[in-house]
Amino acid sequence: MKNIISYIFILMTLTGCLSTYKSPTVGPTAQIKTTKNAVVSNICINQDQNRLSPDSNGYAIIPAGKEIMMTAQYSEYINNMSYFCIPAVKFIPLESAIYIQKFNKTGATCTTEIYRKQNETEVLIATSLPQTFGCNTQ
């Protein structure tokens, strides 16, 4: 059953069936700069997944003060092999903070990480959860 749900999720994501995330207009917020080398960055709030639509500088407004999950969808076709992964990372954004989502691929595996900007440095605050595939964690 989990595989069927995963395949449906992949098809929905690749065909653009996920809704575009609407930035909060009230309450505390933070910013996140999405990764450049993932196909799509998504945000999950209470298991509701939406596609992020960052501004022209790559930043999106996200809610602060409650747990969110960020995913980085990646797909590649090399030497007749298809590679696909959607690593996910959970964190609680701080109000007015600026975050950066990074994506790493090593061989057939991939991870996504969240860094908080502090002055001119980037501090790692969260890395991919094991056995994640989009918003689904098992």
Contact (CB, 8 A) for 84 and 17: no
Closest by alpha carbon to 72, among 103, 29, 30, 99? 103
Counts of helices then strands in the chain (DSSP H, E): 1, 12
Domain that holds residue 113: 2-137
Of the CA atoms within 13 Å of residue 132, those in its CB half-sphere come to: 21
Q: Is the pLDDT of residue 8 over 70?
A: no
> Can you give the pTM of this predicted structure?
0.77
Alpha-carbon Rg for the chain in angstroms: 15
pLDDT over 70 percentage in the chain: 76
Give how many domains the chain has, as a whole number: 1
Residues 70, 85: Cα–Cα separation, whole Å: 13
37-64 mean pLDDT:
84
Q: Is the pLDDT of residue 16 over 70?
A: no
pLDDT-derived band of residue 38, with 50, 70 and 90 as boundaries? low
Q: Is the pLDDT of residue 46 over 60?
A: yes
Q: Could you report the per-residue pLDDT of 72-121, keeping only the tens digit for each?
A: 877 777 788 777 788 888 999 999 999 999 888 777 678 889 999 999 99
